Amino acid sequence: MIRIDNLVVQFGGARPINELSAVLTAPVAGLIGPNGAGKTTLLNVLSGFVRPIQGTVSLGDQALLPMTPLQRVRAGLRRSFQTEQVVEDLTVAGNIAAIADHVVGPRHRPGAVDEALAFVGLATVADRLGHSLNLYQRRLVELAKCVVGKSKLILLDEPAAGLTEEEGKMLRELVLRIPMEFGAQVLIIDHDVELIRSMCSETMVLDYGELLALGPTHSVLADLNVRRAYLGEF
């Protein structure tokens, strides 16, 4: 469970997050909103790359803000980036092992890496270098880095952007398996409302730093304010 309380982020004179409070409990929760709404900034706050000027965020009963980004990774928090972070001169397995190093002991590392590779279906290319991977494979490496070790919360920033419809569908199937197979909660940002509708039982809508709606996805997407502000209707 993610709890956000009275959160404010300020960049100069702008407040990309303004007095935001929310609790997200769904196994796969959605985060949508127009460009510049503060979605990535919220992920940056949760993962420790942006420091808010006010408020608290917690994962279960653990307060996140006092922790460094690495302490948060050790506490089970993982994220993907809008631009994939794959080390080009490391192998696929090496990229995943680099995260595993921080979260599982050396004795358990090979097993954890193999498990993550098998989950995303990259076992056969485990020895290929990062630079030889296509976009979809890069996204799968990012996903493997998210599930390796004992993750509790996985933050995905537009993981399906730029993929073909078929690739997007395969990625979606994988993400949906995460809560059952790894016991982690997923928070996913995507522009594709149909993808959010099909994956997320709960969705939060941000509109220029403020909470426009939060609740069961079907009622959030039917909300008049959401349709007006985000879906461009009326």
Site residues (CB under 5 A) for Mg ion?
40
In angstroms, what is the minimal distance from the CB of 158 to Mg ion? 7
Output the residue with the shortest Cβ distance to Mg ion. Answer: 40
Chosen from ligand ADP, Mg ion, none, partner binding at 72 (C-beta under 5 to 8 Å by type): none
- Give the DSSP H/E element, type plus range, for residue 153: strand 153-157
Tell me which residues in 31-60 interact with ligand ADP (CB under 6 A). 33, 35-41
Count of residues in contact with ligand ADP, rule CB under 6 A: 10
Q: Which of 11, 60, 164, 201 binds ligand ADP (CB under 6 A)?
A: 11
In angstroms, what is the minimal distance from the CB of 32 to ligand ADP? 9
Closest to 96 (Cα-Cα) out of 52, 43, 142: 142
In angstroms, what is the minimal distance from the CB of 209 to ligand ADP? 7
Unique residue bearing structure tokens 């590779």:
117
Chosen from ligand ADP, Mg ion, none, partner binding at 33 (C-beta under 5 to 8 Å by type): ligand ADP
Write out the residues near ligand ADP by the rule CB under 6 A. 11, 16, 33, 35-41
